[in-house]
Amino acid sequence: MKKPDLGNREQGAGNLFSICYLLFVLCFLFASCAGAPKTGLPVTDEELYLLPSGARAYLWADAVKARPILEALSFIDLDDKVTEQILDSTTSAAAAVFPESQNRRFFLAAAGNYPRSKANLSLTFSKGWKKQKSSSGSSYWYSKNDALALVVDSGLALVSNIDPFDYSEKETPPAGFFEFRGTLALAGWIPGPSGAINNFLNSMGIPLQIPAEDFLFGAARTDNFEEPWELILKIRTPSASQARSILSLFSIARLFVHSGAAALGGIAQGTSPQNAADLIAPMKIAALLFSNLPEQEEAYLTLRTGGINEEQLALLFGMFQVYSN
């Protein structure tokens, strides 16, 4: 099967890899690479209820547990005293990535315990940041060079490419998201996911049309030191009967793919997700995704990869970027 043109994939800001990469880059505006992040504050989920509607994908991450994954998704280094001081106090963050047709490209809300006065004082004396007045009457900081708008409060920080307060409707997490997230290191969802899921399956030689109403994804810790992560995909179908039918089709498809134990073997560490498509055949991705028997619970279908490492997880995100459009 012909591989999609990778040259234009950077424009696909709404895909799974882009939002995870964005979360890492923006998270470094709120944390420190040196030293362990503080974990004294409870997660309140306030950041999830501040996300604007209309995004292509949403992601929530525990800033402590998900740190190895976020580092694996990084391709740049940010070294700034202000950003280092703030990120060290981040406990969780939620991000949204928007279609290219919209003025807003991304939005991030990070929860923690921030040195508001110190951060704002530092920004005041920073040549790259200027204070702006929001249309809502609030104020925010803006960096023209980085195209970043920033708000720092004592318990919350907001980041976007435009006025963080300039939106009217907020996104509501899909039904079952909080139960699904549980103790996961990171979790997210894609609104209206049928097209992306079906394109991804077709690219792997599985010509199924899944009537997906919700698509949740997450990463959980395993007990395996070398393969410490498990990718979990959860699809909500219109009914339990449809889920059973699709489960049967998934079980048949699983018979035609190889075992996922070494699906990503041989890929050099540090290989970028954009280049990984040249090294990983779609059928090997299918082998990994179907390495365990699919599960059904009412109208939900769940796929589990089994143990993988951070680099492999990052590559999977990149593969979804390439093959879901």
Q: Name the residue ranges covered by the structural domains of the chain.
A: 9-160, 192-323
The pair phi, psi for residue 245, each rounded to 5°, is -65, -45
- Binned at pLDDT 50, 70 and 90, residue 251 comes out as confident
pLDDT band at residue 46 using 50, 70 and 90 as cut-offs: confident
pLDDT digits (tens, 9 = 90+) for 203-213: 777 788 899 99
The Cβ of residue 232 has, within 10 Å, a number of other Cβ atoms equal to 18
- Average pLDDT taken over every residue of the chain: 76
Strands (DSSP E) contained in 20-161 are 57-62, 90-97, 106-112, 130-133, 139-143, 148-152, 156-160
- Distance separating alpha carbons of residues 294 and 292, to the nearest angstrom: 6
Task: Output the pLDDT for position 51.
Answer: 94
Give residue 264's pLDDT.
46
Higher pLDDT, 69 or 238: 238
Q: Torsions phi, psi of 34, nearest 5? A: -95, 125
Q: Which position has the higher pLDDT, 139 or 6?
A: 139
* 191-199 mean pLDDT: 90
> CA-CA distance, 95 to 55, in Å (whole number)?
10
Is residue 142 within 8 Å of residue 150, measured between CB atoms?
A: yes
Q: How confident is the model at residue 19 (pLDDT cuts 50, 70, 90)?
A: low
- Sign of the alpha-carbon dihedral angle for 305, 311, 317, 320: negative
Write out the two tokens for 286: 């299918």
Residues 40-52 have a mean pLDDT of 72
Quickly list DSSP for 181-198. HTT-SEEEE-SS-HHHHH
Cα gap 63→27, rounded to integer Å: 8
* Residue 261: per-residue pLDDT: 38
Tally of CB atoms within 10 A around 48 = 22
At 153-170, the pLDDT tens digits run 878 889 899 999 998 899
